[in-house]
């Protein structure tokens, strides 16, 4: 219920319709509305309500127009989807970190669409994915560039050349800067960032040759702000955002291949193994934990709709969190605290 109220509050369609009724509607429509409002509010509070609706309408309209222009730019200023170029039954998708969390869901949901999934992980697949004829598993440490290159050649020879790459593998940790050991930092950056380089370097050349592909980078809302105790994780996710932006611009300018799509995904706290250690504390603090299936649904929809984009999954606070990056740090702190409530 609270989520619906929040969505309605920031929807220019809802706030605009309310303003239209309150300010321009026919008397037969206005009278029962105002009679109801006078029963629960004082006259000066009704004026405040109208002012608040005006601000919410302006914010929602600006946000939606801004998002529309962003999408337009990310898709090379084209309104046309490239869905017609994709034959899902003959597409191959590489998914890293496929043995748990988002990766396991991506693998299952993409295979349900008829896409052949190449699952990569250092751990074995869960039992419910092992007998799926649309999923082929390869064990690989994605922090080892030689291992990545070797498995890429094996995939290309045994399965084929992937047209979709989901760089999903990721690990977390709860430790302050002074307690972060070099080996912990190297491992985290290796999984969360360096693997993106290794996998793209392995599979992008064939996508360029065919002028077709989609690279999906799984980042985090931590790309936009850092909280105490997860600095290394936030650094890695901010770098993934920069990697995605750099890849997108290089595809257009260096490779002259805007046909290849790029998507970056920023989930908030989701119920996956990466937050398992701190889940109780998050719930105690009142944080809203997302259902991982919602993230998988959003990613799969982005792929099958054949569009580039930036997907924010954060209980409706995503655009504001991204915008607050330009405000003083004290604003970031208070906004983060409010979003946890």
Query: Could you please report the per-residue DSSP string of 278-323?
Result: GHHHHHHTT--PBPHHHHHHHHHHHHHTT--EEEEESTT-HHHHHH
Catalytically active residues are 233, 237
- DSSP code, position 270: B
Residue with tokens 């082929």: 136
Beta carbons within 10 angstroms of residue 219's beta carbon: 26
Q: Which of 194, 105, 203, 216 is nearest to 142 (CA)?
A: 194
pLDDT at 287: 65
Question: What are 311's two structure tokens?
Answer: 């997907």
- Answer for the pair 233, 173: CB distance below 8 angstroms, yes or no: yes
Question: What are 72's two structure tokens?
Answer: 């337009």
Q: Which of 155, 69, 90, 88 is nearest to 120 (CA)?
A: 155
Q: Which residues pair with 166 in a beta bridge?
A: 95, 216
- Answer for the pair 259, 306: CB distance below 8 angstroms, yes or no: no
- Answer for the pair 265, 300: CB distance below 8 angstroms, yes or no: no
- Answer for the pair 230, 173: CB distance below 8 angstroms, yes or no: yes
Q: Work out whether strand 135-139 and strand 214-218 pair parallel, antiparallel, or are unpaired.
A: unpaired
Q: Which residues contact 305 (CB under 8 A, 6 or more apart)?
A: 81, 83
- DSSP code, position 115: P
pLDDT at 222: 87
pLDDT at 35: 77
pLDDT tens digit string along 172-197? Answer: 878 899 999 999 999 999 999 999 99
Domain 86-340 has CATH 3.40.50.300: no
pLDDT at 5: 54
Question: What are 270's two structure tokens?
Answer: 């989701």
pLDDT at 1: 46
Q: Work out whether strand 92-96 and strand 164-167 pair parallel, antiparallel, or are unpaired.
A: parallel
Residue with tokens 């690990």: 171
- DSSP code, position 172: -
pLDDT tens digit string along 243-291? Answer: 999 999 999 999 999 999 999 999 987 766 766 666 566 556 556 777 8
**3-state SS assignment for residue 137:** strand
CA distance 6 to 315: 9
Residue with tokens 């419910």: 128
Question: Rounded to 5 degrees, what angle do the CA atoms 189, 192, 198 make?
Answer: 90
Q: Which of 274, 268, 305 is nearest to 287 (CA)?
A: 268
Q: What is the mean pLDDT of each run of 10 residues along the chain (341 residues)?
A: 56 78 79 81 79 77 63 58 86 96 96 97 95 96 98 98 97 90 96 98 98 97 86 95 97 95 90 64 65 93 94 70 58 51 47
pLDDT at 151: 98
């Amino acid at each position: 219920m609270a989520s619906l109220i929040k969505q309605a509050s920031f929807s220019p369609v809802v706030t605009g319709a309310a303003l239209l009724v309150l300010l321009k509607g026919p008397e037969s429509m206005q009278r029962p509305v105002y009679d109801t409002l006078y029963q629960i509010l004082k006259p000066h509070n009704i004026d405040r309500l109208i002012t608040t609706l005006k601000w919410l309408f302006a914010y929602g309209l600006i946000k939606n127009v801004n998002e529309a222009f962003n999408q337009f730019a990310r898709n090379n200023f084209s309104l046309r989807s490239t869905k017609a170029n994709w034959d899902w039954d003959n597409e191959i998708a590489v998914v890293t970190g496929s043995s748990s969390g988002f990766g396991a869901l991506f693998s299952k949901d993409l295979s349900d669409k008829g896409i052949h999934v190449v699952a990569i992980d250092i751990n074995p697949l869960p039992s419910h994915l092992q007998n799926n004829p649309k999923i082929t598993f390869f064990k690989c440490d994605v922090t080892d560039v030689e291992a990545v290159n070797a498995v890429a050649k094996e995939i290309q020879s045994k399965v084929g050349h992937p047209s979709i790459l989901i760089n999903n593998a990721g690990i977390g940790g709860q430790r302050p800067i002074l307690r972060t050991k070099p080996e912990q930092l190297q491992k985290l950056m290796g999984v969360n960032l360096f693997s993106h380089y290794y996998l793209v370097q392995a599979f992008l050349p064939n996508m360029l040759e065919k002028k077709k592909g989609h690279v999906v980078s799984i980042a985090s809302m931590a790309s936009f702000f850092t909280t105490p105790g997860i600095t290394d994780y936030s650094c890695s996710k901010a770098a993934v955002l920069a990697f995605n932006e750099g890849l997108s611009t290089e595809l257009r300018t260096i490779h002259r291949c805007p046909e290849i799509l790029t998507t970056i995904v920023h989930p908030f706290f989701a119920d996956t193994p990466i937050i398992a250690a701190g889940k109780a504390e998050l719930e105690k603090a009142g944080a809203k934990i997302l259902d991982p299936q919602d993230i998988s649904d959003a990613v799969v929809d982005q792929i099958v709709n054949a569009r580039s984009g930036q997907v924010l999954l954060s209980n409706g606070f995503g655009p504001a969190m991204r915008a607050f990056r330009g405000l003083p740090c004290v604003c970031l702190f208070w906004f983060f605290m409010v979003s946890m409530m």
